[in-house]
Structure 1
């Protein structure tokens, strides 16, 4: 970390004690951040990009503070990771206590109780009133890979279906599952075989009811793959990187029913939607579906790297001993963080807070939409809301406008993220620790950026 002057150091102690204000003392990047980012160019590959031109030194509540003392409103949560807020005191205390005990034994060598406690909590919290088991990993992509492994082993089949606009990771198999070429797949092939794609329900663009969209997808799967060859389908209940696409009512239940009737494993990728983000503990609950397997990561451990596959015990037990695992999977420090985060999710009112944030976001963005036809759609649930930008005459995606609005908001000290297959969606993923005043101010800045674009 760059050396800080006394005033800046006083403001950057981390956690919820940070002043909750947007404050720009320099243009972005300031001189200290610029110096750090120059070192990044020399030391880090060009493929590892960044969205916001700052070097962060502290974060908490609803702000991120940079090396120059600029305080930015955080409407991204590190891509839905800091759901309960950065440096949450319960998580920070749990991490410190575990680090003082031991940092690693490898659960496959010398097991420890916290891994089992996390698995027990996931088995209890995830949808479905049946016996479940959980295995822990390091990242969302790793969880997805293992869910596919488990489904293939259980069914004895090989084919897997993912959906248009879906995002599942950057490893070889998960790149094959991911729909969008740039920047995730272009030039990185060949990809894993026996991965197929089906059409997603995208109400804003296809106009189909949920059952009609499901019939379209099921017909394609039956004709092009054959149910008897299909191990699993994997789908985000609300798509993340694809543009926060919320499927039409009835779409997911119809797919789940078809899977059950044909012995196909239904995998819900809740890496981005899980753990209170949508105003429910899991987004599957919104649509009344009970996955056979569910993958989680991101918000699970308050910023520590942890992921999981949770599912029906008879499916999870399909693998032979030693077939699942990994050196760091279920690291004890990450497990301690997860147990503290789960305590917060269950007992500190954050699900209700996500719903309140969703109301503020939706009402403000809908009001903006009523005055500006360049906002074609406002959608999402809880603290996972998006605005899709279009040419008002043709409804064509307007990626240039989206980028301009996002860049202008960032320049004024508000962190926002873009997404979508067409690059024309701004997604709002604030930490649930953000205050109403700060959230509204951030939306004011976005509105001003749109008006000026």
Structure 2
């Protein structure tokens, strides 16, 4: 696709009007009826951010069971990057389902697994031999990256960072920083996980090299390089608040890891596959991770994850040491190959950079007239605003919750995040047209004006 007209992107899926349309109270009667059924049948421990139930989605909208149409600024937490029910993905999945839905790659392998491994080796940063193992969830990918690092180095310790989010399995809960709701009451957790300070420009005021020196000093004193198997870091944090480290932080950390034989793992579960305007966020600073974890946006909405990295590391575990019944399911791998093709065909790396310009323009304009927007940050279609009490850096989680709740009432899906719950994050599908995004931010402007 040579000309990127946001109105003509082919990633839109179902033909749905790309507009906000609120026809009933939110939630409407059908959503309320489903909520009543849910309360009797679904665990109360499974939460939902939105009070309405989806019936259709495509382009940049979600339509609920009552016919209300919402601008989707969440993409199912950065999953439907190429759009919900993108035509190429639908076609690939349909064809694969007609052939077979499962054999288990560990029993009877198939070519789409191999082809996807080849594609990921070519797309991830670094000009060296790479291999891939496929799994199902992002947490599973992170946990397997740690297994690979431990097998390769013979060491046990793992370093993660303040505000990190890596998943909900036992090991990845230990690696995740935020207690509620992810860890509360679920211990004891896996041992040999240590935490270092992250570069957080809005709050620490350090440049990248100084922040890296601080982190490295903590690691050397509290863990010791000789004991350390892996450093695991999100190049841009996700659930932790979309924190973008200061320039130079990631390269300095990666260089230290290389000098000390420590495996550098980039957790690109949320940042990968065009979300930040590059295939992977590590590319923005020229970092070449030893291992990259991939999930969310890779398969157009189907459950799939991967660890891709240096061939000698990927071969370190014993044969049979990696795998899983559903890992690299053939329907999901077909969807992933179609997703990668869609990104390339529709020029979605460039589209993500265009979305960044629009989002930052609207948010900086809002911040200029509202002192409660303390920091605007992000890359590509992964942008956030941190909300604070005016004139301070004190987090205002109540405002973030109020804005997200009221935005939903007016037809905009926006998610919160951050260790303190005071960050609004914006993750629109790259298939969302500019006019819809502008309409969504008109709504958000009004919500902020009313939330006094």
Matched residues in 1 for 2:125 and 2:344: separation?
15
Report the equivalent of 1:181. Answer: 179
Answering whether residue 68 of structure 2 is matched by residue 67 of structure 1, we say no
Report the equivalent of 1:191. Answer: 189
Matched residues in 1 for 2:286 and 2:390: separation?
34
Matched residues in 2 for 1:347 and 1:48: separation?
37
Report the equivalent of 1:4. Answer: none
Conserved 8 A contact 1:15-1:58: no
Matches within 5 A, 1:343-354: 343-354=341-352
Instruction: Choose which of 415, 418, 440 in structure 1 pairs with 2:416.
Output: 418
**1:40 Cα shift?**
1.1
**1:289 Cα shift?**
0.5
Matched residues in 1 for 2:274 and 2:36: separation?
37
**1:121 Cα shift?**
0.4
Q: Could you list the runs of 5+ residues in structure 1 that have no partner in the other structure?
A: 1-13
**1:16 Cα shift?**
3.6
Instruction: Choose which of 3, 7, 19 in structure 2 pairs with 1:21.
Output: 19
**1:345 Cα shift?**
1.3
Report the equivalent of 1:451. Answer: 449
TM-score norm. by structure 2 comes to 0.97
Q: Could you list the runs of 5+ residues in structure 2 that have no partner in the other structure?
A: 1-11
Answering whether residue 425 of structure 2 is matched by residue 427 of structure 1, we say yes
Instruction: State the Cα RMSD in Å.
Output: 0.7
Q: Helix, strand or coil: the match of 1:223?
A: helix
Instruction: Choose which of 151, 166, 179 in structure 2 pairs with 1:168.
Output: 166
Report the equivalent of 1:288. Answer: 286
Matched residues in 2 for 1:347 and 1:308: separation?
23
Report the equivalent of 1:300. Answer: 298
Matched residues in 2 for 1:447 and 1:46: separation?
33
Q: Helix, strand or coil: the match of 1:120?
A: helix
Matched residues in 2 for 1:190 and 1:371: separation?
47
The superposition leaves residues 390-420 of structure 1 with CA deviations (integer Å, 9 ceiling, x where unpaired) of 0113220101111111111111010000000
Q: Which has the higher contact order (CA 8 A, sep 6+)?
A: 2
**1:439 Cα shift?**
0.3
Matched residues in 2 for 1:451 and 1:386: separation?
18
Matches within 5 A, 1:115-126: 115-126=113-124
Matches within 5 A, 1:246-395: 246-395=244-393
Q: Which 4+ runs in 1 deviate beyond 6 A? A: none
Matched residues in 1 for 2:333 and 2:173: separation?
27
Q: What is the aligned residue count?
A: 440
Matched residues in 1 for 2:55 and 2:400: separation?
28
Matched residues in 2 for 1:306 and 1:16: separation?
23
Matched residues in 2 for 1:102 and 1:16: separation?
25
Matched residues in 2 for 1:24 and 1:390: separation?
30
Matched residues in 2 for 1:331 and 1:105: separation?
8
